[in-house]
A and B are shown apart, each in its own frame.
Chain A
Amino acid sequence: YSFSVEGDAIKVYVRVRPPSEGPALADGDQGLCLSVLSATTIRLHSKPEPKIFTFDYVANMETTQESVFSSVAKNIVESCMNGYNGTIFAYGQTGSGKTFTMMGPSDSDNFTHSLRGVIPRSFEYLFFLIEREKEKAGSGKSFLCKCSFIEIYNEQIFDLLDSASAGLLLREHIKKGVFVDGAVEQVLSSAAEAYQVLTTGWRNRRVASTSMNRESSRSHAVFTITVESMEKNNEVVNIRSSLLNLVDLAGSERQKDTHTEGLRLKEAGNINRSLSCLGLVITALVDVGNGKQRHICYRDSKLTFLLRDSLGGNAKTSIIANVHPGSRCFGETLSTLNFAQRAKLIKNKAVVNEDTQGNVS
């Protein structure tokens, strides 16, 4: 086994959607809070100074679905075929074009629509590669694809392929990594089938939002495809397995109450409830110590635990940050771009326990 260090940094893409139709655009650029300067830079018209952001790729309003797919996902799907894990995240405020980018036009489940998004195209490409590989290798090589689709809401895990289930647990396997215990796994034989499973699950998610008062934009959805290949060379059987995660993050405007709240003090409950955020304060105190020999519990969120490999681990990861260019969305756009900027800094932290004492003797 050997795995790369370079290239583990998360790639960040920004896509600017066209502004909503309406009279606001009468006089040229007015009403827009940003402009795309090049294929990698974007300028936000903040005051007093405009702010320039640089990303791995910036898609302007004219960029086609095909070209977004090519730059964001193609290479991830390819490395998935080579045994790497890959993850594609979509991030952005509701209405910023996340669903359009990932799924395609919302009114159609049509898998062949010319405007279909990154996800159906990834499916097509994955199965195209599998077919090609099979033809090349003949009967010596076989593939098995399985998928699962889960939703994380309020730190609880729900199976979108089994609406009867509730409260699944995350566990780890020494050979297979992190998995959702008890999640339904469906075998896939074609891209169309994958898309079928995805849309069914997606619908479950929306149904859930009304029947159980769970708001879809407050939940994260993770669609995972496991690609297993088996190659027979004489007597030796070589099995390789990798994951492709497609993640739809909760609407960024919803993150406000948990993440980007800055200096706000956490209020104590009115009733005879304990002072619930004290633990967070203490945890922050311990973090400052920054030593290796500390223990802190309840730090991992379910999402980051599940995707630990993708966030600064041994995987190829891309984030697509979707933004709306309207000046009314300035605040949200700024925070999305800031988030995307931060995401670029995430990389593999291979901290190796090493004693500085006693090495040289």
Chain B
Amino acid sequence: AAAAGSSWAAVCEKFRTARTLSAVESRKDPETEPYRSKYSARALLQEVKQQLSAAEEGGEARLLAVRRAVLEYELGVNHTDTEELSAGEEHLQRCTQLLEPHRLSPDCVSLYIQAQNNLGILWSERDEIKTAQTYLESAEALYNQYMKEDGNPPLDPSEHFMAEEEKLTDQERSKRFEKAYTHTLYYLAQVYQHLEMIEKAAQYCHTTLKRQLEYCGYYPVEWALNAATLSQYYLSKQCFMEARHCLAAASVIFSQAGQVPSAEDNEAEQDQQYLCQRKAEIARFWIKYCLNLLQSARKLLEDNIGELDPDRQLELKAQRKKEEDEKEEGRKKAVLFGTSDICDSVLAMEEKVSSVYPLDFQEAREIFLVGQNYVQEAKEFFQVDGYVSDHIEIVQDHSALFKVLAFFEEDYERRCKMHKRRIDMLEPIYADLNPQYYLLISRQLQFELANTFYEMMDLKVAIGNRLEELDSHTIKKINSLAQLAIKYYELFLDSLRNPDKVFPEELGEDVLRPAMVAKFHIARLYGKLITSDHKKQLENMQTSLEYYMFLVDYCEKYPYAVRAIETELELSKEMVGLLPARMERLRAKMYPFI
């Protein structure tokens, strides 16, 4: 027995060496012999396997089978690591066959799950994702069954070749077991993504993140960014409660990353830089959250001309109290991140901003202010000097926040001031921007500036209409806003011209609609210009007609374009029909005797 004992110790030693070779030494292998250590490990494992067979006659059958399964597993992983997939598959299959009868017992379950994980990876490398899916899903099912029926911390596979006194604590066992299962979920997230089962993939990503927190297997910054990115998925599904939860958790976990004390050496400075950038990124995720929440609320509340519908507002307010509370409670349990102490911080973070649709100006303003704070935070890092496109994107978001807030504002004068704020932030950036390098952004700014002036003009007209008579100040204001809108629409249209200043015969699909909308708006703007000079008025009508004609002619020539601008085209046709008669009447008024 003593001899057997010492030889068993030697076997264990060999096994341990093989594992060290495979996991540690192999990383130092030269590029010319990338698998040197793996091959040495394989030889050792083969030896161990031989020795086990030799010991067979005395051993207990079950114990022996499990030990052999461990070796088959190690050999399987070794072969797949060294790009010998078929051999790897054989070993892994043999491992699962040996374990099959015992797979629910505490000494086998972890190994069985890990073998299934590896078979999943192996089949994905053969581009057979469906087969990979079956292995991974069966690993998932086994975990659930085991936890339900037994639930005690199971043996780690490495323990089968360990002396009694080295065996792991229950805590360590449980940690390793849970980690193997986390990997199952992580691979499943990838499988579902490849199979385009997006919702399921998201759910598995969420669970993986959740488990990383529970079992402390994460880097705070990386985890925070992943959670924050996931929030953007929920935004696209209009799940604001989940999106907010991800963001709140991201902010809380990120704060764990701590501040690196500012030191002189370059590396610390780079780390600091990295942290600052990531913090600003998380702020940007929050901005999108506020923006989406406000914009979705606007969609719910607007009537057919894009104004706030008071009936709808009352209806939604009544509805909100009833539904939201109960519904959210149930969903909440499913997605909650973190153990109790983290949980409390996350909840505190969540309380700072609502996750239900704002239904009036006051509620909208609160979300707006949160968004605006994050705009300032993001801009601290993404300064225009060095981060031009990021900086501008943030400013554009800021402008969009004002725009949607203006929707909730009932006072037209104040609403106009909000749009003026947008102009004030966008115009100077546009003026500085070099379109040779930032053509796309430049076009976006031209178009947005034009639209904003256009909106302001409409507001001034509406304000003017309430007056008994238009005063000269209002007329001047309306005309100047209209001229500015025209200016920026024309700049946008000019950006489409070729180097010889010729406007393209046929527009690319990506600029078709904006170009048409620009033409249409210019036509309308010329129609809105106020002048007491009949000749000037006639000229404006003529210009307006020409722009309307452009839309009509273009769509006649390229009928496929109709789809992009149906409403605008219809109105243009109408105007092309009406304007000549109006111009005729005006001419008759001007020259009554001709």
Contact = CB atoms under 8 A, between A and B. Distances in A.
B563 interface: no
A2 B225 CA distance: 39
A279 B230 CA distance: 9
Interface string A328-361: 0000000000000000000111111111011111
A349 B441 CA distance: 11
A352 B443 contact: yes
B510 A274 contact: no
Contacts of B291: 293
B511 A350 contact: yes
A1 B495 contact: yes
B113 interface: no
Contacts of A6: 498, 504, 508
B424 to A, nearest CB: 18
Contacts of A352: 443-444, 447, 492, 511, 514
B435 interface: yes
A250 B458 CA distance: 55
A266 to B, nearest CB: 6
Interface in B175-221: 182-183, 186-187, 189-191, 193-194, 198, 201-202, 205, 208-209, 212, 217-219
A264 B226 contact: no
Contact of B223 (A7, A274, A277): A274
Interface in B356-390: 384-389
Interface stretch (B3-11, B123-131, B531-539): B123-131
Given A265-B190, A282-B205, A274 B235 contact: no
A286 B225 contact: no
A173 B388 contact: yes
Interface stretch (A99-107, A108-116, A174-182, A198-206): A174-182
A361 B306 contact: yes
B95 interface: no
A272 interface: yes
Given A281-B205, A285-B193, A297 B225 contact: yes
B494 interface: yes
A173 B384 CA distance: 8
Given A174-B434, A297-B225, A2 B494 contact: yes
B302 A357 contact: yes
B529 interface: no
Interface in B490-545: 492, 494-499, 501, 504, 507-508, 510-511, 513-514, 517, 520-521
B290 to A, nearest CB: 10
A174 B385 CA distance: 7
A284 B443 contact: no
B315 to A, nearest CB: 20
A275 B182 contact: yes
Contacts of A296: 229, 232
A200 B44 CA distance: 49
A26 to B, nearest CB: 33
Nearest to A357: B306
Given A174-B384, A285-B202, A285-B205, A272 B439 contact: no
B306 to A, nearest CB: 3
Nearest to B455: A358
B283 to A, nearest CB: 10
B263 interface: no
B591 interface: no
B496 A309 contact: no
Most buried by A among B183, B284, B389: B389
Contact of B458 (A174, A283, A349, A361): A361
A265 to B, nearest CB: 4
Question: What's the interface size class on B, roughly?
Answer: 35 or more
A352 B270 CA distance: 35
Nearest to B206: A282
Secondary structure dominating the interface of B: helix
B212 A274 contact: yes
Nearest to A276: B222
Interface string B300-328: 00100110000000000000000000000
Contact of B189 (A82, A175, A242, A278): A278
A233 interface: no
Interface string B541-573: 000000000000000000000000001100100
Contacts, number: 222
Contact of B434 (A177, A181, A351): A177
Contact of B225 (A281, A298, A355): A298
A71 B225 CA distance: 46
B99 interface: no
Interface in A171-192: 171-178, 181
Contact of A2 (B235, B455, B498): B498
Contacts of A349: 440, 510
B440 A262 contact: no
A358 B295 contact: no
B579 interface: no
B236 interface: yes
Contacts of B226: 278-279, 282
B146 interface: no
A359 B212 contact: no
Contacts of A181: 386
B233 A264 contact: no
A353 B399 CA distance: 12
B432 interface: yes
A270 interface: yes
Nearest to A178: B437
Among B129, B388, B443, B571, residue most surrounded by chain A Cβ atoms (within 10 Å): B388
Contacts of B495: 1-3
B571 A289 contact: no
B479 interface: no
A294 interface: yes
Contact of B295 (A2, A174, A278, A293): A293
B433 interface: yes
A122 interface: no
Contacts of B447: 352-354
Nearest to A213: B31
Given A265-B191, A354-B517, A295 B288 contact: yes
Contacts of B384: 174
A83 interface: yes
Contacts of A242: 436
B23 interface: yes
Nearest to A266: B190
A181 B194 CA distance: 38
Contacts of B205: 278, 281-282, 285
Nearest to B126: A263
B486 interface: no
A279 to B, nearest CB: 5
B438 interface: yes
Contacts of B193: 281, 284-285
Contacts of B302: 357
A174 B388 contact: yes
A210 to B, nearest CB: 12
The 3 closest A-B pairs by CB, nearest first: A289-B236, A177-B437, A358-B306
5 contacts: A286-B232, A350-B443, A351-B444, A359-B517, A361-B458
Given A276-B222, A278-B189, A357-B306, 13 more contacts: A5-B504, A174-B429, A174-B434, A267-B121, A268-B187, A284-B193, A286-B236, A294-B232, A296-B229, A314-B439, A352-B443, A353-B444, A354-B514
